[in-house]
Amino acid sequence: MKNILKIISFLFLTSSSVLADQPKNWQLGFQDPASTGMESIVWFHDYMLLPVTTAITVFVLFLILYACVKFRASKNKVASTTSHNTTIEVLWTLIPCLILIVLAVPSFKLLYEQDTIPKADITIKAVGYQWYWGYEYPDENIGFDSYMVDEKDLKANQPRLLTVDNEIYVPVNKVVKVLITANDVLHAWALPSFGVKRDAIPGRINETWFKAEKTGTFYGQCSELCGIKHAFMPITVNVVTEDEYATWLNDAKQKFALEDTSSNIKVVKNEIKKLN
């Protein structure tokens, strides 16, 4: 049974190892998972939802065909007047309830996993703007904007509509917490390979997390209609080794240094103390 399901998934419905870390032409199903969170989502889809929905669809199709043949007009000159059958009514209430309960258990487990953020190794703040993303690494005091690269400026192997000028870098196998907000209208920060998608809401900070399990470049897009250039504010994440991350961080601290506000904060705190 498992093998048959695997073959069906491979042929039609899910991503396979053939698909990499960005959307592909004619793709069906998910992108390749690159985090434990996304692996759980794919498992839930492939081995819980898909078998259940397939079974229900096939069963209902069978019932319709059976009824069409068995109760066709030519064989049933006098129509049946049956309107109630207690056994069947109990069954068609109880069985769907049981199916929902069986689905609810792994579903809630998954939701809980996504919602509980482990101790973060790295925190990134993503701010949605019309129409680009701004990023900050609050612990490193760096920040930069990330604009899409125009089609005419793309280098070889850079995907159209997904490449940005300043990519985010994160180390592999580390817990990355992402704080997500927006400056103007609703946006959404989404990265399919990591199983991450959160609304970016002005005046509110949403949180999510991921732990990338392999190195590479991963692509996502704004996933909330945010205006005329909604399709042109991609998200690019480079997952690198710890050494490469340290090298990038060193450069980034020169290139993207934010104004050091710690002394200002001290002044403000002192003033508040005086007032009290």
Beta strands 175-182 and 206-211, pairing class: antiparallel
Question: Closest Cα partner for 114 from 212, 218, 237, 208?
Answer: 208
Residue 220, strand partner residues:
235
Comparison of 178 and 222: residue with beta carbon closer to Cu ion: 222
Give how far Cα 268 sits from Cα of 45, 139, 249, 261, 265, Å: 51, 20, 29, 11, 5
Comparison of 124 and 222: residue with beta carbon closer to Cu ion: 222
Specify the amino acid at residue 33: P
Q: How far is the CB of 186 from Cu ion (least distance, A)?
A: 8
Neighbours of 13 (CB within 10 A): 16
Draw the binding track, 127-146, toward Cu ion (x: CB under 5 A; -: no contact). Answer: --------------------
Give how far Cα 206 sits from Cα of 75, 100, 180, 226, 275, Å: 62, 29, 5, 17, 33
Comparison of 38 and 226: residue with beta carbon closer to Cu ion: 226
Q: By CB under 5 A, is residue 226 in contact with Cu ion?
A: yes
Comparison of 47 and 232: residue with beta carbon closer to Cu ion: 232
Q: Which stretch binds Cu ion (CB under 5 A): 117-125, 141-149, 221-229, 268-276?
A: 221-229
* Kind plus residue range of the DSSP H or E element containing 220: strand 216-222
Draw the binding track, 159-198, toward Cu ion (x: CB under 5 A; -: no contact). Answer: ----------------------------x-----------
User: What token pair was written down for 244?
Assistant: 């490469």
**With the CA atoms of 41, 43, 44 and 45 taken in that order, what torsion angle do they form, in degrees rounded to the nearest 10?**
90
Comparison of 176 and 190: residue with beta carbon closer to Cu ion: 190
Q: How far is the CB of 39 from Cu ion (least distance, A)?
A: 27
Q: How far is the CB of 224 from Cu ion (least distance, A)?
A: 6
Comparison of 187 and 211: residue with beta carbon closer to Cu ion: 187
What is the biggest distance separating any 2 CA atoms in the chain, rounded to whole angstroms? 96
- Considering only 124, 212, 222, 239, the residue that binds Cu ion (CB under 5 A) is 222
Reduced to 3 states, what is the DSSP secondary structure of residue 152? helix
Q: How far is the CB of 188 from Cu ion (least distance, A)?
A: 7
- Residues that bind Cu ion (rule: CB under 5 A) add up to a total of 3
Q: Is the dihedral of CA 168, 170, 172, 175 positive or negative?
A: negative
Q: Which stretch binds Cu ion (CB under 5 A): 145-153, 224-232, 237-245, 263-271?
A: 224-232
Comparison of 176 and 226: residue with beta carbon closer to Cu ion: 226
Binding-site ranges for Cu ion (CB under 5 A): 187, 222, 226
